[in-house]
Structure 1
Amino acid sequence: MELHSKRMLRTGVILVCCLVLVLSLFPAYAEDSESLESKTSELENQLSGINQEMVSISEEISTIEMQVEITNGEIQRTEESLQTAEENEAKQYANMKTRIKYMYENGDASLLEWLCSAENLSDFLNKADFIQNISDYDRNMLLELQETQQQIADQKETLETQQTSLTELQTSLETQQAQLQAKAEATSTDLAQFQTQLEQARAQEAAAAAAAQQQAAQETGSSNVNGSYDDTIINGGGSVVAEDEVTLLAALIQCEAYQDYDCLLAVATVIMNRVADPRFGNTITEVIYASGQFEPVWTGRLDEVLLQGPTSLSMQVAQDAVNGARLAAVADCYYFLYAGTGHPGINIGNNVFFPSW
C-alpha cells in the first residue's frame, strides 16, 4: 500500500513537471512567430524600396545612354568637318608650293628685268604695283594657311574633349549597371526578367513613337525616303521673353544647325516645344541648360558663340520662334540627333527630328 502510494506520488510529480514544461514552451513559440512575421514584413518593405531604387537607376541609365548617343553624333559631325578642313589645308599647301617653286626657278632677277623693261613711268608704276600684288597675295595665302591650321588644331581639341566626355559617360554607365546588378543579387531579384520587362517597355515605346511618327508624316506630307519635308511655317503661339533668352536661343540653334532658315527654325521649334511642355523647363534657359540635353552646353561651344555673338540670321530665326513661328514638319518633335547616327526621324539639314526616344 505504501509502495503504491509512493508510485502514485512520483507519477503525479512527473505529470506536474511535464505540464509546467509544456506551458513554458507556448509563449516562446508565440514570440518566435511574431518575430518571423515582423522580419517578413521588414523584408517586403526592403524589397519594395530596392525595386524603387532599381527603377530610378534604370532611368538614369536611359539618360546616360541618350547622352552617349548625342555625343557620338557630335563626334561624327566634328570628324567630318575636320576632314574637310584638312583637305583645304592640303590644297592651300599645294598652291603655296607651286608659287614658291615658280619664284625659286625664275628668281628675283626676272622680276627686276621685267620691271626695268617698262616703256615709260606709267608702265613702270603698273608693273611695280603688280609685283606688290603678287607679294601681298603670297602673304595672304600664308596667313590663310596659318588660320586653317589653327582651325584644325581647335577642332582636334574639341574632338578630344568630346571623346573624354564620352569616356566619362561610359564609365558612369558601367558603374550604374554594376550597382543595379549588385542590388539584384543581394535581394535575389531576377535581373534577366527585369531587363526583359524593361526592353519590352522600351520596344513598345519605340513602336508607339514610330507609329506616331508615321502618322504625322502622312498628315504633313513629309517623307524620309526622298528627303523632303513640309516646310510650311505655322504659328505656335508667341511668348514674351527677355532679350538675353532670345540671344541664348540664337546661339544654341547656330551651334546645332546649318545657317539656313528652315534648319535653324527646326531646332528652335524643338526648344520652344519643350518650353511649352510641362515635362521640361518653363523657360528657354531652363530647357537649354537642363542636364545632359545639348552637347554645345557641356563642350563649351555655346559659350564661344555667346562670346562672339550669334549671326543676324540666327537672331532673326530665334526671334521668329519666340513670336510663334514653328516648322510644321517638326511641330510635334521634342528631340533631334545628327542624322549620321541612323536614328529614324525627319531629316532636316543633316539633323533627324523625332517625337520621343
Structure 2
Amino acid sequence: MKSYWGKTFRLASLILLPVLCLNLGKPAVSVHATEETKKKLEEAKDKLNKTKNQLDETNEQLDDKKEDITNLHQEKSVLENKLSDLNDQLTQVSNNLSDLEGQIDTKEDEIATTQEELAAAITIRDEQYAAMKKRVQFIYEKQGFMLMDMLLDVGGFADFLNHSDYVAALSAYDRKMLEQYKETCVNIDAKEKALQNEKSELDQCKVEVEAEQSRVSGLVSKTSGSINEYKQNISTAEEEARNIEDKAREYESQVEEQNKDVKELEAKLAEEIRLSKLAAKSKWRNISEVSFAEGDRYLLANLIYCEAGAEPYEGKVAVGAVVINRVLSSVYPDTVTGVIYQSGQFSPVGSGRFALALANGSATESCYQAADAAMSGATNVGNCVYFRTPIPGLSGINIGGHVFY
C-alpha cells in the first residue's frame, strides 16, 4: 500500500524536477563496485606502489652504500700496501743509519788511534831530533879533543879512518832517522786528515739518512692515520648499510602486508562486482511500493549534506537518487536506514561525519529538497547505484565533482 510519503514525494518531483527521469519499472543496473571499496583499493595500491618505490630507493641506497664500502676497502688496501712499502723503506733506512753510525764509530776509533800514532811519532821525532842536536853539538864543541883522542887511541891510520867513518855514519843515520820520522809524521797527519774527511762525509750521510728516516717515519705516521680514518669510515658505512638493510626489510614486510591488503580488496571488489551483476538481473520495486519511515527524510538529507553538501543542487539530487535506487533493488536493503548503514558503503558513515551531521542537524534546505525529490522517485542518474570522485578509466554520468555509475 502506498504511503503518504510516497504520494507527497511523487507530487514534489513533478513540481521540483520536471526534467528528471522517473524511476519506473525494472532498471538495467550498471555493474561497478562501491565507492568505498574502490577508494580503499586505490589507496591500498597507491600505498603499495609508494612502498615499492621506497623499497627500490632503499635498495639503490644500499647498493650505493655497498659500492662505497667496496671502494673504501680498496683504498684502504692500497694504503696498507703503501704502508707496508714505507715500513720496508723505514727498516732499510734505519739499517743504513745503524751501519753509518757503526762506520762513524769505527772511523772515530781509527782517528783516535791515528792521533795516538801521530803523537807517538812526533814524540820520537822530537826525541830523535834532540838526540841528534846533542851529538852534533858535542861533536862540534869537542871535535878537537875527539880528534886528538882518535889520533892517540888508534893504532894506525886505518883505525883513524874507521873512527872517522863511524862518526860520519852516525851523523848520516841521525839525519836519515830524522827524515823518516818527519815523513812518518807527515803521513800520519795526512792519514788523520783523510780520516777526518771520511768522517765528515759519514756525518753528512748520517744527517741525510736521519732526514730520510724522519721523512719516511712521517709518511708512515700519516699513512697509518689515513688507514685508521678509512677503518672508521668503513665501520660507519657498514653501520649505515645495516640500517639501510633493516629499512629495506621493513619495506619488504610492508610490501608483503600491503600485497595482502590489495588482494583482499580485489577479492572484495570482485564480490561487489558479482553483487552488481546480480542486482542487474534481480527484481526491482516501483517507488510506489516503498514505505518510508518517519526519520528517513532526516537521514537522507544529512547523508546528502555529507556527500554532496558543496555540490550544485543536481549533484545533491543525484546522491539521493543512488540511495533510493538501492532501496528499490532487491540486492540491497529495502529501507533507507538499511541502505545508508550497510557496512562499508558510504564513507561518511564509517568516518563518523554522518553521525556528527545528524547530531548537529547539518542538512541545508537544498539537501532536504533533494531528499524529497529522490524519495518521490525522481532521478537524474537513471538507475545508477554507485558514485565516486572521477578516476581514470571510470565512465558514467558526471555531475559536479562525482561520476555516477
Structure whose alpha-carbon radius of gyration is higher: 2
- TM-score tier, shorter chain, comes to 0.3 to 0.5
Bigger relative CO (Cα 8 Å, ≥ 6 apart)? 2
> TM-score under structure 2 normalisation?
0.38
